[in-house]
Structure 1
Amino acid sequence: MISITFDLWASGAMLAIRKITAGHGGLSVDDVPAPKEARGSDVLVKVEAAGICGTDLLIYKWGDFAKRMKLPTIIGHEISGVVEQVGSDVKGLRPGMRVSLESHVPCGVCYTCRRGWAHVCPHTRYPGVDFDGGFAPFVMVPESVCWPVPPEISPLQAAMMEPFGLAVHASMEGSGVSGLNVLVSGCGPIGLMNIAAARALGASKVIATDVHPLRLAAAARMGVDECVNAADDSVYETVRSLLGERGVDVAIDYSGQASALKALIQSITHGGELRLMGVPSQEISLNLEEWLFKGLVVRGLHGRGLFETWERSTTLLANGRVDLSSLVSHRVALSDAQDAFEMALNGKSLKILFEPNGACA
């Protein structure tokens, strides 16, 4: 494997962020064995940038989803990098190509996959959860999840293509957003990306809600028509003042909060769409009467269309219709992992990117 950095290969080790013990925290940043030679359909990727995701925070807090993990595991699944080596069965990639990584590895053979719904395959495996992920200088992944990245997309933006794909997926589902009024609830990184995606895909007006000043300020920079601080102002009254009794055509929730869902239901027009992306931290009690009488279309969304969403996302980023660079609040080394996770948990950041091989250009 002569293409790997000499020092790494000579030592056979690399620095990585791992979840090593169950429970809150439980991270280590230490030397681990470097990946071995790529074989079969596997691809060795030299990581340029890797972002902290909400799933990584769930792993840090040891939420229910994390309990499927076999510890220790290198975490991280929002990854961009350069192909370092390919296995003998890899056909579409070669060393030196830049890639962004899809985080869902579907089985490809179950009923769901064969119906064209591989993004919700019940047997999906995830890097950083079911096998070692990208908070390390190198990661080994199947060729099937490697998406070639054109030179117009920077390494930092390429590392955000996986979460950006969620926003594009939410904007393309159902009736789409073109010519429609859209309400985005929850302005974490993906909600902010959804503002940009909805605008680029032709939404008429985009309204955003959150309770954190940092996120609301970021929403304004992403081109939203109106920001609503849901802690202080009525979302419903703001929507009515802008759009009258018509309300919004599409509401997309990233918050997973019962209070937010109630406000969204009030704000959606009769026959409109509610698209659910946020994962509630606990069970939510709902009164479905208003949902039924309004004739709402409710869509539960997960992941990205494989790979229609990636095609659209690539076009939006490559031609400059969407620029995600302003969402990067911190660029950090792997050794700063503990501080980075605490910043993310305490709402003191937008998107935090690790740069395992040094700062990206």
Structure 2
Amino acid sequence: MTRALVKRGSAESDTAVVSTQVPSPGAHEVLIRTEAVGLCGSDVHAWRQDAGYEWVQVPVILGHEAVGIVADIGDDVDPGWLGKRVVPVSIDGCGRCPVCQSGRGYICPQRSVLGLSFDGAAAEACVIAVDRLVEVAPDVSAHAMVLVEPLAIAVHAVSRLSVADPSASGEIIVTGPGPIGLMAALILHQQGHRVTLVGTESDLPVRLSKAESLGLRSSLGDSLPAGISLWLEASGSSQALATAIENIDSGGTIVVPALFARIPEVDVNLITRREIGLIGSYGASRSDYAKAAEHIGSDPHFWEQLVSPFLLSDASEVLGRVSRGEVIKAILIPESSAPAPETTGLVLSETPDSALSDLPADF
């Protein structure tokens, strides 16, 4: 038997850590011993059965941000995968259509999402198709390497800004200091760009405070710099998108990696007359995963500062904390992968409340 975070029905109380059978890998699949798994906005939306998540079939094991070790393989899998440390690709397509053949399976019309379309990785062990695996460094802390998936989403969003020369880009605004927005802002800052991360008063105690401690300039949006040529909207707030359209320079570009709980109204005439580029960003390619792993491997201690670890057995309570914005990035550590109890430190931290008006979705 193994322990897993299972969504069994539509009520929040229907999601709990329960004992299940250890899955067996089938053809083209591997069994992964989970080291750590992150929780994000999509997990919370599924837990709460929010609008737009009715399609999630139950029962299902949640979790799509994971790192672990290949412990067993099914038929037609190269034995060389045994013992490898891997991160699963969270969104992937059919593998056959022109979109997939172009390397963009994350926007395939038939794409599936780990932990929502089928059983995920919030468990002591999980089964994943071998063609969804990305090998990562074996000697980097799991607390850092578990960030590969969300950091890959941020890497992809930054790439959609299509900016290479920091001296030519002007000011860059990132709205939404959740994990994706914060990570994207940190990447841009490390590249030498002038970045301002914008949030709300509820973000001050945790998210904006952490951003400033990591060297970012933050704002509540009441005073924005002049000369904004690029904007990344990661909050999922209609007002934030409207603010971006109103304040970006003519010819500027807005990239939107967030999904919105309500369809936003935008001033298309303003977009047209000022030739503003409005670009969506969804998921990540395998090359984005590789770049994210490189970022983390180059300075794991820096990226670990975004993480708050908890035991898998506390997952139900941790989902509540994520929904209230009390942590930057909560990760679950299966008891089988955790240090001894007297040295673990994996307890619920006393973080001040920071209720969010909107929790942006990933999928």
Q: What band does the TM-score fall into relative to the shorter chain?
A: 0.7 to 0.9
Q: Residue 24 of structure 1: CA displacement?
A: 4.3
The answer to whether 1:333 aligns with 2:311 is yes
Name the SS for the 1:349 alignment partner.
coil
Detail structure 1 runs of 4+ shifted over 6 Å in the superposition. none
The answer to whether 1:27 aligns with 2:15 is yes
The answer to whether 1:204 aligns with 2:204 is no
TM-score scaled by length of structure 2: 0.87
Matches within 5 A, 1:198-237: 198-200=188-190, 202-211=191-200, 212-213=203-204, 214-224=206-216, 226-230=217-221, 234=222, 237=223
Q: Tell whether the 8 Å contact from 1:44 to 1:141 is kept in structure 2 after alignment.
A: yes
Matches of 2:284 and 2:301, distance apart in 1? 18
Q: Which amino acid aligns with 1:46?
A: R
The answer to whether 1:268 aligns with 2:248 is yes
Matches within 5 A, 1:1-361: 13-36=1-24, 38-91=25-78, 93-179=80-166, 180=169, 181-200=171-190, 202-211=191-200, 212-213=203-204, 214-224=206-216, 226-230=217-221, 234=222, 237-240=223-226, 247-305=227-285, 307-320=286-299, 323-329=302-308, 331-356=309-334, 357-359=336-338
Q: Residue 357 of structure 2 aligns with which residue?
A: none
Q: Which amino acid aligns with 2:325?
A: G
Q: Residue 361 of structure 2 aligns with which residue?
A: none
Q: Quick one: percent identity of the two aligned structures?
A: 25
Name the SS for the 2:235 alignment partner.
coil
CA RMSD across the alignment: 1.9
Matches of 1:104 and 1:257, distance apart in 2? 23
Q: Which amino acid aligns with 1:342?
A: G
Q: Residue 174 of structure 1: CA displacement?
A: 4.4
Q: Which amino acid aligns with 2:210?
A: A
Name the SS for the 2:183 alignment partner.
helix
Which residues of structure 2 form unaligned runs of 5+? 345-363
Name the SS for the 2:270 alignment partner.
helix
Q: Residue 23 of structure 1: CA displacement?
A: 4.0
Which residues of structure 1 form unaligned runs of 5+? 1-12, 241-246
Q: Tell whether the 8 Å contact from 1:50 to 1:354 is kept in structure 2 after alignment.
A: yes
Aligned residues: 333
Matches of 2:13 and 2:263, distance apart in 1? 24
Matches of 2:82 and 2:138, distance apart in 1? 15
Q: Tell whether the 8 Å contact from 2:230 to 2:252 is kept in structure 1 after alignment.
A: yes
Q: Deviations 1:59-92 (Å, cap 9, x if unpaired)?
A: 0121344322221111111000111012232238
Q: Structure 1 residues 178 and 85 mapped into 2: Cα distance closer, same or farther (>3 Å)?
A: farther
TM-score scaled by length of structure 1: 0.87
